[in-house]
Each structure stands twice: as C-alpha cells, then as structure tokens.
C-alpha cells in the first residue's frame, strides 16, 4: 500500500517536472523564434539598402557613361579605362569599377565588346547575352547581374537596357571585391535593427556577405551564430548584383534581453532533474524506513511473545513447588529442601529476566545511567558467580574461575553483575550440559578483560558482529527449543559501552565461544552519580 502511494507521489513529481520542462522549452523556442526573426529582418534590411547603394553609386553610372557614348557616336567605340575614371570623378564617385564592356543591338542582333576583353568572355557574351536580355526585356530600367566562371576566372556580369535607346542593351563585368567599400557605406547609414522599445541602444547584428565564389566581401560583428541567425543564399533574379551571393546574419545571445521580454530563458533541465533525483531519493529513503519499521515491529512482536514465554516457565515451576510445600506433599526434609531450592532458582531467573527487560527498555529510551564508584572488581565477579551457581548446578554445569585476589576499578557493581549473569546464562543455556564454563578476569596495561568461555556450538564468524544487535538470535536457536528474547547481548554491549568498554566474541582454540568485555581503565567522565538518582528500581 505504502509502495503504491510512494510510486504515485513519484509519478506526480515526474509529471510536474515534465510540465515545467515543457513550459520552459516552449518559452525558449518562442524566444529563439524572436531572435531568428530579428536576424532575418536585419538580412532583408541590409540587402535592400545595399542594392540601392550599389546600383546608385557603382552600376548605373557605368550604364550612363556607355549610353552617353552610344548617343554621341552610335555603334562607335567604347570608353577606355581612363575615360571611365574621369567620368567617375566628374560624378564625384571615384573610378568606376567596370572592366570589360559590351553592347548588344537588338535590331541587328550584333554583340560588340571593348578592346582587350578575354576571348572566352567575348564568346560567352555573343552566345548568352541575347538570351539574358530577352529574359529581362519586360522589366525596364532595372539592372540585373549574372555570376559566371570562364576559363577558371570569376566574372560578375552586370547588364541593363540603355535609358536612351530601348534597342541598345549594355553590359559590363566587374570584380565583386571592388564593391566592398560600398557595403561598408551601407552600414554607416544607421543600425539594421531598431533599438528596444524603451529607446535603448540598437541591437548589434553580426553580418557576413560572400559572393558566388565564396569570397567574403564584408564581415561585421561577432562570428556568425547559427543558433540565433539565418544563412540566406540569394536565388532571386530581382536581387540584382546579389544573385548567387550568401548572406549570414545573427544577433548575439546577449541581445535577447532587449528583443525578448524577460530575456532568453535558461534551461531548467538541471534543476528539474535535480529535483526529480532528490524526490526519488527521499521516496526511496521513505520506502527503506518503512521496511525497517515493519521489520522492527515484527521483531518486537517476536520479543513480546518470547518474553511472555520466558516468564511463564519459571512462574509455573514456582507455583508447582510452592503448592507441593503448602499441601505438605513432601515426604522427606531432603525433598522439602529441593523444592525450596527450585523456587529460589526460578525466582532468581525471573528477577534476572525482569532486570534485563527493564534495562533494555531504559536503553531504548536513553535513560540508562551508571553509578560508577571505585570498587573491587574481583569481589563483584566472585559474588555474581556465586549467585549464579545454583542455576548452573541445575544444568550440571561447573563454573571455573580465574580471578586475581583483587582488581580495583571504577565500575557500577549492579551493571557488572548483570553483564556477567547474561553471559553466564547464555554459556549455560547454549553450552552442552555437564561441561565447564570458564570465567576469567585479566587486568592489562590500559584495560581489564572479563571473559566467559564455553564449549558450546560457538558463533559463526559472519554473525560475530550482528549477534550484539537487539532482537538478533541465530537461526539455529530460533528454531530450537532454547528460550530467549534476543536482548541479553545487546544489554551487555550497552552496559559495557557506558563503562567506556568494548565487547567482542572470539573462538577459543579448544572450540566453543569466548565472550569478552574490555573495561577501559579510564572510564568516561559521566555525571554518573548525579544521574543515578533517576535510575529506576
């Protein structure tokens, strides 16, 4: 159920993220569209102005000079370079850029070329000019141009009808690179794009014009940026000299601020992906936590039934033998004594169990506090063994002790007793009946080692760490009859660490297991006595 809810939340988050991403993408597309349109507008504006300037300052003057010459002496010669220069200066234009000159008489169909014109160009003019003029005869008063490559040389042929006599067609070839100064002049006329609506400075435009042979005639501004620009190859005959040329225009991304309200939106993808990942991680964590919570709840249920079971066994024994005594069913004083011993044993077992459970509950709430005092550890250990002996006897287990006469340490005697009883209880419970359990106390340089060793089945190496966790019981013991709630060792570890000590389990050479508690000789400076007042009974 919880997994379904979490999956739904994740799907919802993913949907929201997708929506946000789609909105950002369409916003960006719209903004990019505005930038493209601006670049296209700038390209159109440049071509329109450049066409006027080139026609006016470079192309028509040549046609006029040719026309005037024809008018003065019809069918006569062509002006030479010198005359063209003079005429240009007369019109305050500088030298005219024409190279070879041509004339076509539509009435006679004859084509003539100026002296010095390369033969391939003369041949081309004879073959192609009549057709070109026939094509454009409907459009009077306009100049057309045609890029041609002859014998490997580029020629830009400009042609138009004489303004004086409609049957005289005039043409000349030029080098497009000679027009470059005029293109510069186009830009002096003012910015190609208007400023922003609020009267800010004009948006700069990057511009690159290349002729039909790829030779760059004009380059302005930043390098061309195709993301925010257009590349246009001129194919329209009506564009005159620009036919076959390529014009690239783009606006800088920084200009977006001025062209698009709010500027060019930045990609939200990293943020969206980040949020999505975070949401997935949080939901994953929620699943893990929920699983762990459920596992813990199951363990707790096991624990409650195990404790109830543990309590029931000694209580039944106590009631049975108390009744025996009450009803005077014992025959000999020996039997009487045995019943009392059993009652005493089981009462001790109960006390121990209850103490462990309380200790565990305190540890869970974090309210355990020790009463650390300078004490004789040897005496505490001996007392604990003595108190435990009747329970060991009942299983026929003998407890051997290797304890120095006296070892001073700052400890909580009740806690040490509980540690030892828990370890002895396990040794007796899991070790084989009728065998020996060895308790050893060994003072070292900076710690005191307390160990309990048995010849039982031992702890597999893989379980030696986790065995100290609460509720953890080995599978073999979970299945077997041995009672237990899985909190004994966790209580041992808790009490040892409150002493600033550590615990571990090892395998003695003779087999079985050895549980070791190492008390540090410099226990932590706990406000132990102050907290002791809060200790529960």
Q: Can you give the binding site for ligand ADP, defined by CB under 6 A?
A: 426-427, 430, 454, 456-457, 459, 467, 473-474, 477, 484-490, 513
Q: How many angstroms separate the CA atoms of 261 and 472, rounded?
A: 65
Q: How far is the CB of 534 from ligand ADP (least distance, A)?
A: 26
Structure tokens at 67: 């026309």
Neighbours of 257 (CB within 10 A): 14
Smaller CB separation from ligand ADP, 485 or 498: 485
Smaller CB separation from ligand ADP, 146 or 356: 356
**Phi-psi map region of 451: left, alpha, beta (phi>0 left; psi -120 to 50 alpha):** beta
Smaller CB separation from ligand ADP, 147 or 483: 483
Q: How far is the CB of 399 from ligand ADP (least distance, A)?
A: 13
Q: How far is the CB of 509 from ligand ADP (least distance, A)?
A: 16
Interior angle at CA 183, CA 180 and CA 185, nearest 5: 115
For the chain, the 3-state helix, strand and coil shares in percent, each to the nearest 5, are 55, 20, 30
Q: How many angstroms separate the CA atoms of 101 and 115, rounded?
A: 9
Smaller CB separation from ligand ADP, 241 or 503: 503
Q: Residue 326: which residues within 8 A CB-CB, separation 6 or more?
A: none
Structure tokens at 235: 């194919």
Q: How far is the CB of 485 from ligand ADP (least distance, A)?
A: 5
| DSSP character at residue 223 | P
Smaller CB separation from ligand ADP, 46 or 468: 468
With H, G, I as helix, E, B as strand and everything else as coil, classify residue 274: helix
With H, G, I as helix, E, B as strand and everything else as coil, classify residue 131: helix
Per-residue 3-state assignment (H helix, E strand, C coil) for 265-305: CCCCHHHHHHHHHHHHHHHHHHHHHHHHHHHHHHHHHHHHH
Q: How far is the CB of 453 from ligand ADP (least distance, A)?
A: 9
Q: How many angstroms separate the CA atoms of 315 and 336, rounded?
A: 18
Q: How far is the CB of 505 from ligand ADP (least distance, A)?
A: 8
Q: How far is the CB of 312 from ligand ADP (least distance, A)?
A: 15
**Phi-psi map region of 178: left, alpha, beta (phi>0 left; psi -120 to 50 alpha):** alpha
Decide: 506 and 461 in contact? Cβ < 8 Å.
Answer: no
Smaller CB separation from ligand ADP, 78 or 360: 360
Smaller CB separation from ligand ADP, 330 or 357: 357
Smaller CB separation from ligand ADP, 256 or 495: 495
Decide: 441 and 449 in contact? Cβ < 8 Å.
Answer: yes
Q: How far is the CB of 348 from ligand ADP (least distance, A)?
A: 16
């Amino acid at each position: 159920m919880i997994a379904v809810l979490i999956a739904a939340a994740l799907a919802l988050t993913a949907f929201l993220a997708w929506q946000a991403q789609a909105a950002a993408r369409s916003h960006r597309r719209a903004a990019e569209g505005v930038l493209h349109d601006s670049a296209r507008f700038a390209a159109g504006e440049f071509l329109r102005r450049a066409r006027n300037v080139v026609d006016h300052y470079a192309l028509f003057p040549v046609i006029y000079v040719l026309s005037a010459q024809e008018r003065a002496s019809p069918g006569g010669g062509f002006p030479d370079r010198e005359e063209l220069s003079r005429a240009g200066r007369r019109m305050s234009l500088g030298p005219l850029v024409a190279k070879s000159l041509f004339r076509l008489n539509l009435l006679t169909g004859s084509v003539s070329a100026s002296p010095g014109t390369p033969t391939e160009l003369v041949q081309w003019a004879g073959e192609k000019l009549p057709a070109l003029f026939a094509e454009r005869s409907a459009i009077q008063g306009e100049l057309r141009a045609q890029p041609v490559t002859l014998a490997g040389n580029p020629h830009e042929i400009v042609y138009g009808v004489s303004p004086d006599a409609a049957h005289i067609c005039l043409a000349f070839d030029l080098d497009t690179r000679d027009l470059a100064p005029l293109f510069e002049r186009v830009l002096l006329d003012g910015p190609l794009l208007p400023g922003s609506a609020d009267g800010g400075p004009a948006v700069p435009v990057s511009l690159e014009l290349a002729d039909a042979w790829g030779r760059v005639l004009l380059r302005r501004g930043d390098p061309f940026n195709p993301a925010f620009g257009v590349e246009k190859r001129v194919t329209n005959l009506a564009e005159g000299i620009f036919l076959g040329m390529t014009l690239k225009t783009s606006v800088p991304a920084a200009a977006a601020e001025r062209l698009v309200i709010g500027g060019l939106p930045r990609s939200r993808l990293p943020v969206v992906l980040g949020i999505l990942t975070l949401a997935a991680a949080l939901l994953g964590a929620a699943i893990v936590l929920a699983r762990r919570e459920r596992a813990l709840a199951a363990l707790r249920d096991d624990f409650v039934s195990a404790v109830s079971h543990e309590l029931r066994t000694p209580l039944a024994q106590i009631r049975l033998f108390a009744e025996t005594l009450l009803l005077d069913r014992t025959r000999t004083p020996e039997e009487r004594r045995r019943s009392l011993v059993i009652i005493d044993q089981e009462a001790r077992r109960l006390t121990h169990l209850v103490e462990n459970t309380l200790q565990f509950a305190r540890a869970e709430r974090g309210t355990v506090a020790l009463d650390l005092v300078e004490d004789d550890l040897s005496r505490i250990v001996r007392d604990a063994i003595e108190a435990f002996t009747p329970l060991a006897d009942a299983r026929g287990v003998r407890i051997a002790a290797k304890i120095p006469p006296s070892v001073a340490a700052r400890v909580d005697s009740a806690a040490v007793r509980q540690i030892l009883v828990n370890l002895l209880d396990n040794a007796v419970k899991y070790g084989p009946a009728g065998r020996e359990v060895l308790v050893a106390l060994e003072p070292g340089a900076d710690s005191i080692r307390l160990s309990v060793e048995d010849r039982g089945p031992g702890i597999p190496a893989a379980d030696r760490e986790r065995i100290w966790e609460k509720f953890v019981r080995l599978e073999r013991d979970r299945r077997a009859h041995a009672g237990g709630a899985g909190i004994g060792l966790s209580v041992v570890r808790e009490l040892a660490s409150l002493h600033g000590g550590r615990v571990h389990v090892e395998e003695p050479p003779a087999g079985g297991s050895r549980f070791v508690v190492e008390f540090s000789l410099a226990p932590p400076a706990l406000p132990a006595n102050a907290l002791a007042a809060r200790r529960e009974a």
